[in-house]
């Protein structure tokens, strides 16, 4: 089995210097919900130094709420914003001798794309216009995956190590008290159980099937570095090869 280990970085609320070397892919904030040109530059340099693939972590332009509030932007505005974000990160990456390999939406935009075809198409339109060879990293079984397939974009499913799931395979809203998981031992055991069975226990206790090539740790989760280190060790000991998908 081959698994990619990714994390959201460049958000100015985690230890990127410690986290990025543990990853195979890094989702770098592009300045809309967090980050800046200088923060992007530091993340790109770390990716280059440690052989980590670079992804654009695009979002609603909403720094006040960290991109986790639903803005209900029309598709055209989503496309325009995503295009600006892709070009911002790509400019920094090219200057360092690296290039963006994939796109992953953040927060409210990620969740909207899971069920809203128009929002998914808006992000995919920007992706294809910028570089049709880019992959989309997104929620397994989502509308975003279906739309990507229809438009000829490579879509890769990811599982969140540190987030709870509902029975329908969607993420438990962050407003719920049990949405975020940070106990290292419990999260590691949960991930290993998913690898063996392909199923993740939902908040109701019923299993939900998740088909994914990538495993995500949020950079702003408490103890993210410790969690990523523990997951990397557990996966390696279980005979899983860690390799980027893009």
pLDDT of residue 116: 98
pLDDT for 177 beyond 90? no
53-58 vs 199-201, strand pairing mode = unpaired
Are 176 and 217 in contact by the 8 Å Cβ rule? The answer is: no
Q: List the one residue out of 99, 92, 119 whose CA is nearest residue 31.
A: 92
Summarize pLDDT for 73-99 with one digit per residue, the tens. 999 999 999 999 999 999 999 999 999
226 to each of 28, 58, 191, how far by Cα in Å?
Answer: 20, 25, 15
Summarize pLDDT for 26-61 with one digit per residue, the tens. 999 999 999 999 999 999 999 999 999 999 999 999
pTM reported for the whole predicted model = 0.97
Q: How far apart are CA 150 and CA 15, in angstroms?
A: 38
pLDDT confidence of 120, banded at 50, 70, 90? very high
Are 224 and 173 in contact by the 8 Å Cβ rule? The answer is: no
Would you list the domain boundaries of the chain? 2-242
Alpha helices (H) in the chain, listed in sequence order: 16-19, 37-50, 75-96, 107-113, 117-130, 143-150, 184-197, 224-237
Residue 105: strand pairing partners: 58
∠ CA 202-3-237, rounded to 5°: 95
pLDDT of residue 84: 98
The answer to whether domain 2-242 has CATH 3.20.20.370 is yes
Q: What percent of the chain has pLDDT over 90?
A: 98
pLDDT confidence of 198, banded at 50, 70, 90? very high
Summarize pLDDT for 224-242 with one digit per residue, the tens. 999 999 999 999 999 999 9
Kindly give, in sequence order, each residue whose CB lies less than 8 Å from that of residue 189, ignoring residues fewer than 6 positions away: none
* Interval 210-227 mean pLDDT: 96
């Amino acid at each position: 089995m081959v698994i990619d280990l990714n994390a959201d970085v460049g958000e100015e609320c985690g230890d990127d210097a410690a986290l990025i070397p543990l990853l195979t892919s890094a989702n770098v904030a592009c300045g809309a919900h967090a980050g800046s040109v200088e923060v992007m530059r530091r993340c790109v340099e770390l990716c280059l130094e440690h052989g980590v693939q670079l992804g654009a972590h695009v979002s609603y332009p909403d720094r006040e709420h960290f991109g986790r509030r639903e803005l209900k932007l029309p598709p055209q505005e989503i496309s325009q914003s995503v295009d600006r974000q892709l070009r911002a990160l790509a400019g920094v990456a090219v200057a360092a001798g690296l290039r963006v390999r994939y796109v992953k939406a953040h927060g409210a935009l990620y969740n909207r794309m899971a069920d809203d075809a128009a929002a998914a198409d808006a992000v995919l339109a920007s992706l294809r216009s910028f570089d049709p060879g880019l992959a989309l990293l997104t929620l397994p079984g989502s509308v975003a995956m279906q739309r990507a397939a229809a438009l000829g974009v490579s879509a890769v499913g990811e599982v969140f190590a540190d987030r709870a799931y509902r029975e329908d395979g969607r993420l438990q809203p962050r407003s719920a008290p049990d949405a975020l998981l940070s106990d290292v031992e419990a999260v590691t055991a949960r991930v290993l159980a998913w690898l063996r069975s392909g199923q993740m226990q939902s908040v109701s206790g019923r299993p939900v099937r998740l088909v994914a090539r990538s495993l995500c740790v949020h950079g702003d989760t408490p103890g993210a570095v410790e969690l990523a280190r523990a997951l990397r060790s557990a996966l390696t000991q279980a005979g899983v090869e860690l390799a980027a998908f893009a």
